Amino acid sequence: MASRTGSKLAWILAGSYLALAALTIGYELSIRLFDRGNSEFAGMLSAALTLPGLLAVISLAGLALGVHVGDSDTWFVVLLGLSALVNAAAIFAIARVLRRG
């Protein structure tokens, strides 16, 4: 029963993180789309929220595809979204390991 509770907690933590990241990315995307004149800092909050995974995703995307977060609105969402998924997987794994111990 303890592993089932640990798994449920891991899903809740990872899902909550993904929801927060999605809201943040969506908010900053709306700034990029609807207020281009004042969007020079749009993406900073999302970058801070997805930081550990963002470094890996940006490195891989830059080497493999030659793209960066600021290249277009599409890449902004794709790279930050992938970073959020990487971080959510890490949160899930850590939560499961900690609940077992």
Higher pLDDT, residue 49 or 42: 49
pLDDT computed for residue 3 by the predictor: 57
Domain carrying residue 67: 2-100
pLDDT computed for residue 6 by the predictor: 65
Mean pLDDT of 47-68: 91
* Count of domains forming the chain: 1
pLDDT computed for residue 5 by the predictor: 65
Q: Counting Cβ atoms within 10 Å, is residue 75 exposed (0-12), middle (13-18) or buried (19+)?
A: middle
> What is the spatial distance between Cα 57 and Cα 52, in angstroms, rounded to a whole number?
9
**Residue 44, CA distances (Å) to 25, 54, 82, 89 in order:** 10, 12, 16, 22
